[in-house]
Amino acid sequence: MTTRIGVITFPGSLDDRDAQRAIRIAGAEPVALWHGSHDLEGVDALVLPGGFSYGDYLRSGAIAALSPIMAEVKDAAAGGLPVLGICNGFQMLVEAHLLPGGLIRNAGQQFVRRDQRLRVENAATDWTAEFAAGEEIVIPLKNGEGGYIADAETLARIEGEGQVAFRYVGVNPNGSLNDIAGLSNERGNVVGLMPHPEHAVEPGFGPNTPDAMRSGTDGLALLLRGDLRSRPRRSLTLPPRRGTCLTCGTEVSPVSQKISLIAQARQQLSLAAHAPSGRSAKTIFGGHERMLRQTVIALCARRELEEHNNPGEATLHVIQGHIRLIAGSTVWEGLPGDFLIVPTARHSVQAVEDSAFVLTVVKTV
């Protein structure tokens, strides 16, 4: 059965029809949705398109984020429905608090229009699964308020959790912190980005490539959804929070799922090598809303997790490399296979060489 992807039109949207056409080219069925409705019409995914909703008054996306249909969007996203926000749609997602941070006027105070090179930082979201981590693509960019901002704590968290989906390469067109071009939520089903993948889906109408003028179609991969109901979703959190089988949807015990820690370490080290922070992380079990949380963290050599408080009972299991767990004047060395109990005092973790480990945290009541 053909996947149905809803495209929501807001007053001032101008790329909604382009998004519908791109979805059709990708082989799915676009479903036109209206901002004033409360009905998502049973779609399998949602796209919030680019444009200038409500004339960008107050802040770009701020008024649209309060539209009637956004209540349904929030509920659907919380239930795992894939949601993609493009440009103005990305602005709506941050204003609706479905993604962290904010978007402000470009650093140069000018509207920017260019074919933009991006690097795929996270290929494990519902919208980036057709890419490879570290892959570079080119899709058009056009915005006046695309500068991504976040406080230091939020920025460290999204970098550490691997929530940066896309990063600007070569040129930072709008002054975004850490060259961030796109983000995902922790679960990986909500993604927002400032560039426009819907404008790079058909030869003859996309960016220039070494092969031919206007031949770029890199945006198509974001919209190649396949049949969402018959294939497993790739998510930042494994296994599924609802305890369902990845293949058939049957209720199962989490212990029936199997994850290769070595493979996870290899992937996160690859992402860390391309990240300005020199680190990357992926939650493989549990999450912020659960008592137990297990995360694979990768640190490049001489990088560290700055001194911080213990969030609960915690341990470190070293998969690869050499780390140091430091609390005051006490230092514990960690080599592959070592199991370190995190002290209750403030502490930091340093990587002597490229390293990966599993952080397990149990929240204390």
Q: What is the pLDDT of residues 72-86, one digit of tens each?
A: 999 999 999 999 999
Considering the domain architecture, whether residues 99 and 165 belong to the same structural domain is answered as yes
Residue at 251 is within a domain: no
Considering the domain architecture, whether residues 42 and 172 belong to the same structural domain is answered as yes
Q: Measuring CA to CA, how many Å separate 264 from each of 246, 271, 284, 294, 301?
A: 18, 11, 9, 12, 18
pLDDT at residue 232 above 50?
A: no
Q: How many domains does the structure of the chain reveal? A: 2
Residue at 154 is within a domain: yes
pLDDT at residue 204 above 90?
A: no
Q: Which of these three, 202, 223, 244, is where a domain ends?
A: 223
Considering the domain architecture, whether residues 169 and 313 belong to the same structural domain is answered as no
pLDDT band of residue 299 (cuts 50, 70, 90) is very high
Of the listed ranges 67-71, 130-134, 193-197, the one predicted with least confidence: 130-134
Quote the CA–CA distance of 328 and 146 in Å, as a whole number: 41
Considering the domain architecture, whether residues 27 and 171 belong to the same structural domain is answered as yes
pLDDT at residue 121 above 60?
A: yes
N-term to C-term CA, the chain: 46
Residue at 102 is within a domain: yes
Mean pLDDT score of the chain: 85
Q: Which of these three, 159, 194, 223, is where a domain ends?
A: 223
Q: What is the mean pLDDT of residues 310-318?
A: 83
Quote the percentage of the chain above a pLDDT of 90.
58
Strand-pair category, 29-34 with 4-9: parallel
The catalytic residue positions are 87, 196, 198
pLDDT at residue 35 above 90?
A: yes
Token reading at 299 = 């640190």
Token reading at 211 = 């092969």
Residue at 274 is within a domain: yes
Q: Which of these three, 173, 203, 223, is where a domain ends?
A: 223
Q: What is the mean pLDDT of residues 109-124?
A: 92
Quote the CA–CA distance of 123 and 132 in Å, as a whole number: 6
pLDDT at residue 180 above 90?
A: yes
Considering the domain architecture, whether residues 188 and 301 belong to the same structural domain is answered as no
Residue at 228 is within a domain: no
Residues 6+ apart with CB under 8 A from 270: 133, 134
Strands (E), the chain: 4-9, 29-34, 45-48, 83-86, 102-104, 112-120, 136-143, 147-149, 164-168, 180-184, 190-193, 279-286, 292-299, 304-308, 313-320, 323-327, 330-334, 339-341, 347-351, 355-362
Q: Which domain holds residue 119?
A: 4-223
Q: What is the mean pLDDT of residues 47-70?
A: 93
Residues 6+ apart with CB under 8 A from 153: none
The pLDDT, as a whole number, for residue 252 is 38
pLDDT band of residue 288 (cuts 50, 70, 90) is low
Q: Give me the CATH number covering residue 358.
A: 2.60.120.10
The pLDDT, as a whole number, for residue 326 is 93
Considering the domain architecture, whether residues 206 and 293 belong to the same structural domain is answered as no
Considering the domain architecture, whether residues 219 and 265 belong to the same structural domain is answered as no
Considering the domain architecture, whether residues 198 and 277 belong to the same structural domain is answered as no
* Position with higher pLDDT, 243 vs 47: 47
Residue at 238 is within a domain: no
Considering the domain architecture, whether residues 77 and 171 belong to the same structural domain is answered as yes
Residue at 138 is within a domain: yes
Cis amide prior to 30 (ω within 30 degrees): no
Of the listed ranges 15-29, 47-61, 262-276, the one predicted with least confidence: 262-276
Considering the domain architecture, whether residues 143 and 61 belong to the same structural domain is answered as yes
- Work out the number of other CB atoms within 10 angstroms of the CB of residue 93: 30
Considering the domain architecture, whether residues 42 and 153 belong to the same structural domain is answered as yes
- Work out the number of other CB atoms within 10 angstroms of the CB of residue 91: 30
Residue 159 DSSP SS3: helix
Considering the domain architecture, whether residues 109 and 55 belong to the same structural domain is answered as yes
Q: Give me the CATH number covering residue 211.
A: 3.40.50.880
Residue at 246 is within a domain: no
CA 162 from chain centre, in angstroms, equals: 7
